[in-house]
Copies of this chain bind each other. A is one copy, B any other.
Amino acid sequence: MTTATASVPAVDAPPETQPVAWRHRHLLDVDGLGPAELELVMGTTDAMREVLARPIPKVPALRGTNVTILFYEASTRTRVSFEVAAKNLSCDVVNIAASASSVSKGESLVDTVRTIEALGAHMLVMRHGVSGAPYLAAEVFGGSVLNGGDGWHAHPSQALLDLYTLRSRLPGGSLEGRKVVILGDVLHSRVARSNVWSLTAMGADLWLCGPSTLLRGFDAWAARGAAGRRFTATSDPDEALRDADVVMALRIQRERMASGLLPSLREYAARYGLTQERLRRAKPDVVIMHPGPMNEGVEIAPDVAVDPRSVITDQVTNGVAVRMALLYLLAGARQRAGGGG
């Protein structure tokens, strides 16, 4: 079982019929995925991209599977991406927008999750403002939990779509030794945290860059390494961008200024905004990324966002394919384990 190969399943068929060595029932973060497992996700995503290219981009693989999307934070992009991914696999989808007003006050998360399972959900995609909430959900949910973002902690499907996008864009398809820069509000970014795990696992030379107030903790982590993962933290964008192969700008939340962590958007844009001028320090064929939604003119200049080297739109489409792959692989693990929902 540990000799997981990258042999890709035939994704038109139900996952439980496939001889695939995927053993995780949940996807809570990417820190537990080794290179062979990441390869399997990548290969399965290739197969899903092929499905998306068909005139009717659907397969019956997960017909009858109930996917419930429970989002405690407003989202368009990630919610719709999971919804489209699930429908492309012929799942039935239930959306629950669990903002403060609609989920009953006083009900615990554990009760909500138990209820969703009793209502028939086989797979639960969940976004929550509190780091770790999906781990709690996974303890009580009989099906598969997919973390759609929890607090500042993790956003694993985003890290996997970033990885897939990079592999399909970088010459040779390998991250080994590539200089990858994540630029911006690293402190509050679950995207950055999940990318630390997956990018270092694939051998990238990872740099995190932002104002020192927004790098807090990462500098210490970078200095001592963690679980064998090494990266560099710096507040100097010139140093970070020099000869970079990839640069990913992070979204700046306007709320950060109220808390005194940022002086002003204008000042941030001047010092850290990803402009054409700043990009000239990177390699000529640098790959430009952004997880979206963008504040154009703040963390990224409008002409950079639509630069031919930008893969921002590819990230979105690959996100659907990666989430199809994840739903497919997790469903297989659940069914082989005899898990219900």
Residues of A in contact with B (beta carbons under 8 Å apart): 52, 55-58, 63-64, 66, 68, 74, 76-77, 80-81, 83-84, 87-88, 92, 94, 96, 98, 101-108, 111-112, 114-116, 118-120, 254, 292-296, 298, 305, 313-314, 316-317, 319-320
Contact = CB atoms under 8 A, between A and B. Distances in A.
9 contacts: A74-B101, A80-B94, A84-B92, A88-B120, A106-B293, A108-B294, A108-B296, A118-B316, A119-B317
Contacts of A55: 64
A316 B58 contact: no
Contacts of A104: 76, 293
A115 B74 contact: no
Nearest to A94: B80
A81 B119 contact: yes
B52 A58 contact: no
B80 A295 contact: no
Contacts of A80: 68, 94, 96, 116, 119
A295 B106 CA distance: 5
A292 B111 contact: yes
A52 B117 CA distance: 13
Contacts of A81: 119
A114 B313 contact: yes
Nearest to A70: B76
A106 B296 CA distance: 7
A84 B74 contact: no
A110 B101 CA distance: 27
Contacts of A56: 63-64
Given A92-B87, A111-B296, A320 B119 contact: yes
Interface centre among A80, A81, A320 (most CB of B within 10 A): A80
B119 A84 contact: yes
Nearest to A107: B293
Nearest to A111: B294
